[in-house]
Chain A
Amino acid sequence: MFVLVVGGGKVGYYLTKELIENGHEVVLMEKERARADQIADEIGSVVMPHDGCEGKYLASAGANRADIVAAVTGDDEDNLVICQMAKHHFDVGRTIARVNNPKNEALFKHLGVDEIISPTRMILGSIEQDIPVHELLHLAQLGEGQLELIEAHLQAGSPAVGRAPKDLDIPDGCSLFAVIRGGVALPLRPDTTLFEGDKVIAIGKTECETLLHAQLIGDSETVDAR
């Protein structure tokens, strides 16, 4: 696999090193000459000291034959342009962008970036896992962002407590597949009765979330009333 990495910060540097160790062909573009030289001293001639946003340098780095372009600079606008140029001008099959401002995720997706990695969102998700709120937790995005892996912590008052998946109105395109009970993961069958304190793991389309919320957590009014 030929991967073009743009941005030689910490992320780009470690990404390049790992990719090389895993036997991939890599070119790293870093526009700051001093930083590029510093990385080249260590990992060799795969570093190009040029701006990966600029069309002619992308071309000379071999963008037209890259399988993947990963834009991991610290600036969202640069990462957007790198991915769009790669996709539309160089026909790269798969583009990955690091997004720092979580508000930019939807825009990037709308504008055709294939995969969006948001460190801010990940850390936020991690923090939310530690806060006992009566909400669905987003564990991961799958299927190019079309699907969500969701955890629901069943509290007293949840419509799902004392019932089994077959008795619930689970939206189409959505599957409850495991339950974590007492720290142990169990497969969730249609007739498994759910208890207070269970953590139900579900996978489903992003738009099913409201329905899923109503079935597993309860309507927001009910939650507020308690």
Chain B
Amino acid sequence: MKTVIVGCGRVGAALAELFDRSGHDVIVLDIRTRAFDRLPANFGGNAIRGDGTDEDTLRRAGAEDADVFLALTEGDNRNVMAGQVAAEGLGARQVIAKINDPLRASAYADLGLATLCRTTLMADAVAEYLGLAATGSPGVHSPSGTHHEGDHHGAGEPADSTDAMPSAAGAREA
């Protein structure tokens, strides 16, 4: 399985290590080279310095034939944009974006992105630990629509990732 991870913070680096250890093909991107210090010395995947919202950079990282694409930078909007470039522009199969604003997290699930909301996940974890009632909103949203629904741009290609897959001949860069 090929995984592209944008953002080599604590979560990004931990997942990169996890996927690599399980024998998957991992490419991790960050705009700061220093961020790659978080990766273990024996990391077997690729680390690429670059802007994960830039289509050319993502193509270079191999997002076109990624099975899993994770947008995990510290910026909600950067994750939204990276996720949409990967899903809509490049045809990555499974795209998950971290969005810490609960409203945006649910709004973008309606627009076709799987989203993770750390705010809700943490609040629920704390509530559960203390035996309090949970927030009531999910911390993980599955995509429930596409951005084409109800807008004026129905002529776009289908957002369904299986239809949007490009040929498997996408160039990879080590």
**A and B: bona fide binding partners:** yes
Q: From known contacts A84-B111, A103-B55, infer whether A54 and B153 are also in contact, taking CB-CB under 8 Å.
A: no
Q: Assess A81 versus B88: contact at CB under 8 Å? Given A76-B53, A103-B56, A110-B153.
A: no
A84 & B147 in contact (Cβ 8 Å cutoff) = yes
Decide: A85 near B156, CB < 8 A? Known: A103-B56, A110-B88: no
From B75, B80, B150, name the one whose CB has the most chain A CB atoms within 10 angstroms: B80
Task: Collect the chain B residues with CB atoms within 8 Å of residue A77's CB.
Answer: 53, 75, 77-78, 80-81
Number of B positions contacting A (CB below 8 A): 28
A89 lies within 8 A of chain B by Cβ? yes
A71-85 interface (Cβ within 8 A of B): 75-78, 80-81, 84-85
A168 near B: Cβ within 8 Å?
A: no
Assembled-state Cα–Cα distance A161/B101 (Å): 60
Contact of A55 among B77, B80, B104 (CB under 8 A): B104
Residue interface bits A76-107, CB-to-B below 8 A is 1, else 0? 11101100110111000000000001010001
Q: Is A26 an interface residue (CB 8 A)?
A: no
- Nearest A-chain residue to B101, judged by Cβ: A54
New contact pairs (7) apart from A53-B77, A80-B80, CB-CB < 8 Å: A54-B104, A77-B78, A85-B107, A88-B107, A103-B55, A107-B88, A111-B84
A173 on the B face (CB < 8 A): no
Q: A77-B77, A111-B147 are in contact. Are A53 and B153 (CB under 8 A)?
A: no
Residue with the greatest number of chain B CB neighbours at <10 A, chosen from A75, A76, A88, A101: A88
B89 at the interface (CB under 8 A from A): yes
A75 CA / B77 CA spacing, docked (Å): 10
Query: What would 6 A/B residue contacts be, using CB atoms closer than 8 Å?
Result: A78-B77, A84-B107, A88-B111, A88-B147, A107-B89, A110-B89
Question: What CA separation (Å) do A101 and B56 show in the bound complex?
Answer: 12
| Closest residue of A by beta carbon distance from B151 | A112
Taking a contact as CB atoms under 8 Å apart, the answer to whether B107 and A87 are in contact is no
Chain A interface extent, by class: 20 to 34
- Contact across chains for B78 and A85 when beta carbons are under 8 A apart: no
| B96 / chain A contacts, CB cutoff of 8 Å | none
Question: Is A33's beta carbon under 8 Å from chain B?
Answer: no
Q: Which residues of B contact A76 (CB under 8 A)?
A: 53, 81
> What 0/1 readout, one digit per residue, does chain B (62-84) give for beta carbons within 8 Å of chain A?
00000000000001111011001
Distance in Å: Cβ of A134 to nearest Cβ of chain B: 28
Asked if A88 and B101 make an inter-chain contact with CB atoms under 8 angstroms apart, the answer reads: no
Q: Are B101 and A55 in contact (CB under 8 A)?
A: yes
Cβ–Cβ < 8 Å partners of B151 in chain A: 87-88, 112
Q: Is the CB of B77 within 8 A of A112?
A: no
Task: Select from chain A the residue with minimum beta-carbon distance to B100.
Answer: A54
Task: Report whether A110 and B156 are in contact in the complex, using a CB–CB cutoff of 8 Å.
Answer: yes
Contacts of B150 in A (CB 8 A): 88
Decide yes or no whether B54 CB sits under 8 A from chain A. yes
Is the CB of A56 closer than 8 A to any CB of chain B?
Answer: yes
In contact, B103 and A103 (Cβ under 8 angstroms): no
B110 adjacent to chain A (CB < 8 Å):
yes
The list of the 5 closest CB pairs from A to B, nearest first, reads A55-B103, A77-B81, A77-B77, A81-B77, A112-B151
A54 to B156 alpha-carbon distance, docked (Å): 27
Q: How far is the CA of A56 from the CA of B76 in the complex (A)?
A: 15
With A and B bound together, what is the CA distance between A112 and B110 in angstroms?
Answer: 14
Closest CB of chain A to B104's CB: distance in Å? Answer: 6
Q: Which residue of chain B has its CB nearest to the CB of A144?
A: B152
Q: Is B16 an interface residue (CB 8 A)?
A: no
Given contacts A77-B80, A103-B56, contact A85 B104 (CB under 8 A): yes
Minimum CB distance partner of B103 in chain A: A55
Residue in A78, A89, A109 whose CB lies within 8 Å of B103 = A89
Residues on A with beta carbons closer than 8 Å to the beta carbon of B76: 53, 81
Asked if B103 and A80 make an inter-chain contact with CB atoms under 8 angstroms apart, the answer reads no
